[in-house]
Amino acid sequence: MLRRLALRSATVAAPAIRSADKILVPGRGEGPFPANPRSQTFLRSFIDLHQMGNKESIEKERARLSDELSRGYFADISEIRKNGGKIAIANKTIIPSLAAVKFPDLEVNFADGRSLKLPISSEQSGTDTSELPIPCASLLCLSFRASSQAMAESWSIPFLDAFSALGRIQIYEVSFIDSWLLSLAPVRNLFLKLMRNSNDPQRQIVYTFGDHYHFRKKLHILNLLTGYIFLLDRLGRIRWQGFGSATQEELSSLMSCASLLLDEK
């Protein structure tokens, strides 16, 4: 329950953050903050001072802020209402190995405090994960808000039922916690102790904390209210992708693609 509340708190806070660049100014209507000319002059001077030290970093942050504000929380809500979280149709066939791209590195935490770097692949060496068994197929289910957790399970549970007996698959249900408070080490450790763990070693429930903007950019993730599902091969490459809640047809394509990965030598 706390897991859902933590994710929901980020959802509630999002509109306030995304709309923080505007205020209502009497006689002027809605305008960019700050409206006071003296404040604007001070802000420009402040930015100019820091530009002298690291202009490139300032420009990157400006570009990021513009990118984040260009798509608001209500735009995500509107899209979800139109398509129910199905922002795109899942792949019907497997992505060829030559065209497949590697899943970005992602550090996750288990409820017992252990940490792990995903994806687990045969290319890893000299790391804590290099001694782990390399799955032939891994299913990564990403949830950025509580609303998408049920979507993730609509894929992970049928996948586990279909392939658990083979012992060469791994499922990771990843919850993203972007609250700065929950990202602080003492609070994070307490939070993890209260979270549920999986009883099945082939289905792991993990958490990742902090800013995930650059990670999302690499995967072209825009809407945070839906689920994102990735099927990876033993090299950590994305060979199939799905969105939202699973349909029977999409589950069939997922199972077919996973079977091909299990048959690869």
Per residue in 101-126, pLDDT (tens digit) is 999 999 999 999 899 999 998 776 44
What token pair was written down for 125?
A: 């060496």
Which residues are CB-neighbours of 78 under 8 A, at least 6 positions away?
A: none
User: Long-range CB contacts (< 8 A, 24+ apart) of 178-186?
Assistant: 178/10, 178/144, 178/209, 178/210, 178/211, 178/212, 179/6, 179/9, 179/10, 179/13, 182/6, 182/209, 183/209, 183/210
CA–CA gap between residue 93 and residue 48 (Å, rounded): 52
Can you give the pLDDT at residue 9? 47
pLDDT digit string (tens) for the chain, length 265 residues:
445 545 444 444 444 434 434 433 334 444 444 445 444 444 454 455 455 557 777 777 777 777 766 677 788 899 999 999 999 999 999 999 999 999 999 999 999 989 999 999 877 644 455 567 899 999 999 999 998 999 999 999 999 999 999 989 999 999 999 988 988 989 999 999 988 778 899 999 999 999 999 999 999 999 999 999 999 999 999 999 999 999 999 999 999 999 999 998 6
Domains, in order of start, for the chain: 2-69 (no CATH), 81-263 (3.40.30.10)
108: Cβ–Cβ under 8 A, 6 or more apart, which residues?
Answer: 115, 116, 117, 118, 172, 174, 206, 207, 208
For 125, phi then psi, to 5°, come to -150, 145
Q: Rounded to the nearest 5°, which phi and psi values hold at 118? A: -100, 150
Q: Which of 203, 114, 195 is nearest to 152 (CA)?
A: 203
